[in-house]
Each structure stands twice: as C-alpha cells, then as structure tokens.
C-alpha cells in the first residue's frame, strides 16, 4: 500500500456519464419487506461492509462486535498482523458469543454452557464432551467470514467467495489514498435510530439540490451549483467547492458570515482579511497548507481544491465520506433487522491530529431520532426523513422523481439492481 501511495493523487477528471434513464424509481424499493429481503439475500450478504476501526483493536485478543440487519459479527485481532471476523454465534445452541461492544479476551467462552473458542475461532474446550454421544465434530468452530483492512477500517463480507476488498473498492480506494485515512483519529461516534429506509438516509446526503431548501445558511459558504458528479461502477462522488459563496446567494460578492466563519476556523481574524469574496477560497487553501506544515502534517499529495473543498465519496452501499484535508465525516446506514421503515445511522468524525498528539477514543452512544441534536446542518438533514418515509408509504405516492443533480440516487439504485437482478437484466 505504501508503494501505491507514492506519487498517488486523487484524480479530478470527470468520469464518463452512464445512461441511467429518467423513469420514476418505484417507491416499493424503499417500503416493501419483499424488496428488503431481496436486498439482504443478494446484496448485503455479497458486499464488503465496514465493521469498525482497526485502532479499536490494537492488541492480540482485542475485539469488537458490529451489527448489520439481523446479524452480529465478532471482529478479533488474532495475531499482531491478522484480524478475523466471525458470526457472533455459538455453534452449540446459538447463543451470542459477546454482547454488543468492545473488549479483550484470551479466548471466547460462551456464557451459556461454556463452550470455549480460540482467537482463530477454533474449538478450545467443550464441557462434558463425552456426553455428546454423536461426538463433537473437530470442525465445530465459530463461522468465519472474509475480513480485510483498508483506510484504518476493518471490513468484512458475508460472501465466502468475495472478491478482494481493494477490487471491490475500485477506483475509490486509489482516489482516497492521498488522505491517509489510517492516520486519522476518531473524535465522535454516535448511532441514531431513524424511522426511514436506509436508502432514504443515503439519498439525503447524495445530492446538494436540497441545500437551497433546508440549509439556506450554507449558501454563504459553498457552491451548490458547480458540483462535479462522477459515477463509477458501484461507487460515486461529488466534489463540492467550499469557502465560496453560492451563485444562488443574493450577493455573491459579499464576504458573508459563512466565509468569515471559515476564516475564523483557519485561525484568521476576518476583520483583517482585506480580499474580495472570490479570494477567500484560494486564501483558505494556502492557509491550510501553512497550518499543515506548522503541525508537521504531510499534505503534499493533496491538490489545492482538497485543501478547501468537500470531496464527498459514497462507497456502495452504505458509506459516505465527507473528506477534507484535516478531517473527514463518516456516515454509515445500516438496515434494520426486520422493518424496511427503520434504520441505524452511524455518524462519526475523524481528525488528522498534529504529529505527536493523541485524542482519547470517544465512547459510542446510541439514540432515538430527536433525542439529541447532531448540530444544525445534520438536524436539518434528518428532520424530514420520518416524514419522507411516511409519505412514501402513502397510496398517493408512486416513486422518486429524480432530477439530473440528484442522479447519484439513481446510480445507487441501479447498482442495487446489478446485485439483485444481474448487470445484464
């Protein structure tokens, strides 16, 4: 990986536009249990999923669990160089091996009849083994699934014949290498239960068409019109210019409150900034490089736009990364076990800290929609989602009417169909 990183840059070229049609996207994809079941059998059980952060299991025996739909997985550092993933289920009578969370173990003892397993999942000890008159097969073990790491994350795949992780992540793993995600620290970690389909939540972040509607304040600090959209085989991205006033804003020449806030965040007193509105973004880019140098961070592989903008990547099916030079926001949408009208939204933030500094790992917390504020922008984003889901279930509603700026939604739905019905359907 280090070899690949040398000289690697995030490409900025516009990708070829696939023809995706203009039809309504049937609403049943977001509301029906049948479609949910198809997604589970043919998509969720075939794709690479992020389980968690590799830095949460630094030592041999460290583990955490991760939940996806009806399943739970146990992620374990078996050796200094090897992380393994198992279904979190005991092969005796089906008890879960570990409750949700993280910890450390020399071996895994099931809390019911005390079957015990080694860190590689193999059987270690069965109490009263001679009473299993049929014999306890030697292969009685935790059921393992393919597991790999990239970007500081542990990934797993329920498909025993899964393609290699890096192949699945093509081309975005290469795109994101210059950021060095594995060097970032987790700064915030929450899960919110939302009353909507997991895709409705993905959709809420994969278009900027809604910015003029629900985030009017953001027009003061980003360009929601000149947004490059690139659709790849599975994954997609858009590049959102930041530190610039939207062409929709009443006075694009104004050094707005939004821009002043960004200057302040960059450690500059806005009163001392004498340039025009259009000069803020290049100024912020130069300033960010200076700050990186002062803090001993190598950002030489990032282009100038990456020093100010949001390179917003969607990793099919459920990871969104708002990437910036010193930080990235992480969203993960997880389907509910049984209900297409519910999902879990994992929101985390990561920061690249100055050389030699560390931050304590935040404690993960779980909430219901509306119990806590996620900040103004996220509260604006999440406000509509239960209403969207209710509306989608209405007899009056037929399906999603998608405009050109919203075409990442169409692309995601097309990719789901590639899994469900084959690319040659």
> Residue 230 and residue 239: Cα distance in Å, rounded?
9
- x/- mask, ligand FES, residues 100-129, rule CB under 6 A, reads ----------x-xxxx--------------
Nearer to ligand FES, 96 or 384 (CB): 96
Work out which of 9, 14, 93, 104 binds ligand FES, going by CB under 6 A.
93
Nearer to Fe ion, 39 or 381 (CB): 381
Nearer to Fe ion, 56 or 224 (CB): 224
Crossing angle of helices 376-383 and 385-392, in 10° steps, is 10
Q: Total number of residues binding ligand FES (CB under 6 A)? A: 9
> Residue 341 and residue 35: Cα distance in Å, rounded?
12
In the region spanning residues 358 to 417, those forming contacts with Fe ion, defined by CB under 5 A, are 381
Cβ count within 10 A of residue 93: 10
> Residue 381 and residue 369: Cα distance in Å, rounded?
12
- x/- mask, Fe ion, residues 218-237, rule CB under 5 A, reads --------------------
Shortest separation between residue 381's beta carbon and Fe ion, angstroms:
4
State the binding partner of 95 from ligand FES, Fe ion, none, CB within 5 to 8 A by kind.
Answer: ligand FES
Instruction: Please report whether residue 404 would count as binding ligand FES according to CB under 6 A.
Output: no
Peptide bond into 328 cis (omega under 30): no
State the binding partner of 381 from Fe ion, ligand FES, none, CB within 5 to 8 A by kind.
Answer: Fe ion
Shortest separation between residue 117's beta carbon and ligand FES, angstroms:
10
Alpha carbon distances (Å) from 377 to 249, 374, 380: 18, 8, 5
- H helix runs in 272-336, sequence order: 280-294
> Residue 203 and residue 390: Cα distance in Å, rounded?
16
Shortest separation between residue 34's beta carbon and ligand FES, angstroms:
32
Q: Give just the sign of the alpha carbon dihedral 134, 136, 142, 146.
A: negative
Q: What are 173's two structure tokens? A: 């793993």
Q: Give just the sign of the alpha carbon dihedral 176, 182, 185, 186.
A: positive
Q: Is 350 exposed, middle or buried (CB count within 10 Å of its CB: 0-12, 13-18, 19+)?
A: buried
Work out which of 47, 68, 76, 90 binds ligand FES, going by CB under 6 A.
90
Shortest separation between residue 95's beta carbon and ligand FES, angstroms:
4
- Of 87-95, 155-163, 216-224, 277-285, which part binds ligand FES (CB under 6 A)? 87-95
State the binding partner of 92 from ligand FES, Fe ion, none, CB within 5 to 8 A by kind.
Answer: ligand FES
In the region spanning residues 251 to 270, those forming contacts with ligand FES, defined by CB under 6 A, are none
Nearer to ligand FES, 108 or 313 (CB): 108
Query: Which has the closest alpha carbon to 277: 287, 263, 265, 298?
Result: 263
Q: Which residues bind Fe ion (CB under 5 A)?
A: 381
Q: Which residues bind ligand FES (CB under 6 A)?
A: 90, 92-93, 95, 110, 112-115
């Amino acid at each position: 990986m280090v070899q690949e990183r040398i000289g690697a840059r995030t490409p900025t070229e516009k990708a070829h536009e696939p023809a995706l049609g203009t039809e309504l996207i049937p609403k049943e994809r977001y509301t029906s249990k049948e479609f949910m079941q198809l997604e589970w059998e043919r998509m969720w059980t075939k794709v690479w999923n992020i389980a968690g952060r590799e830095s949460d299991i630094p030592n041999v025996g460290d583990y955490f669990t991760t939940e996806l739909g009806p399943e739970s997985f146990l992620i374990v550092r078996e050796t200094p160089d090897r992380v393994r993933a198992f279904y979190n289920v005991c092969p005796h009578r089906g008890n879960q091996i570990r409750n949700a969370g993280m910890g450390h173990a020399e071996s895994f003892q099931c809390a019911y009849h005390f079957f015990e397993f080694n860190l590689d999942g193999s059987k270690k000890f069965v109490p009263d083994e001679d009473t299993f008159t049929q014999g306890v097969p030697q292969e009685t073990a935790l059921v393992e699934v393919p597991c790999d790491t990239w970007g500081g994350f542990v990934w797993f795949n329920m498909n025993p014949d899964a393609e290699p992780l890096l192949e699945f992540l093509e081309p975005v793993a290469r795109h994101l290498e210059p950021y060095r995600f594995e060097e970032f620290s987790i700064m915030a970690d929450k899960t919110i239960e939302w009353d909507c389909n997991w895709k409705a939540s993905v959709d809420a972040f994969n278009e900027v068409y809604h910015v003029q509607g629900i985030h009017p304040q953001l027009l003061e600090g980003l360009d929601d019109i000149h947004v490059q959209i690139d659709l790849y085989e599975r994954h997609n991205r858009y590049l959102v210019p930041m530190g610039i006033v939207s062409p929709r804003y009443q006075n694009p020449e104004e050094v707005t409150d939004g821009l002043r806030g960004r200057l302040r965040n960059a450690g500059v007193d806005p009163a001392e900034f004498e340039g025009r509105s259009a000069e803020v973004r290049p100024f912020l880019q130069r300033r960010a490089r200076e700050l990186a140098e002062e803090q001993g961070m190598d950002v030489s592989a990032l282009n100038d736009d990456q020093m100010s903008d949001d390179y917003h990547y969607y990793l099919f099916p459920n990871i969104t990364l708002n990437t910036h030079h010193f930080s990235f926001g992480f969203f993960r949408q997880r389907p509910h076990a049984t209900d297409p009208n519910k999902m879990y939204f994992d929101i985390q933030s990561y920061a690249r800290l100055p050389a030699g500094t560390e931050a304590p790992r935040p404690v993960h917390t779980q909430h219901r929609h509306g119990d806590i504020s996620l900040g103004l922008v996220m509260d604006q984003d999440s406000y509509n989602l239960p209403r969207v889901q209710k509306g989608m279930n209405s007899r009056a509603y037929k399906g999603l009417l998608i405009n050109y700026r919203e075409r990442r939604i169409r692309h995601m739905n097309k990719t789901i169909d590639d899994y469900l019905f084959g690319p040659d359907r």
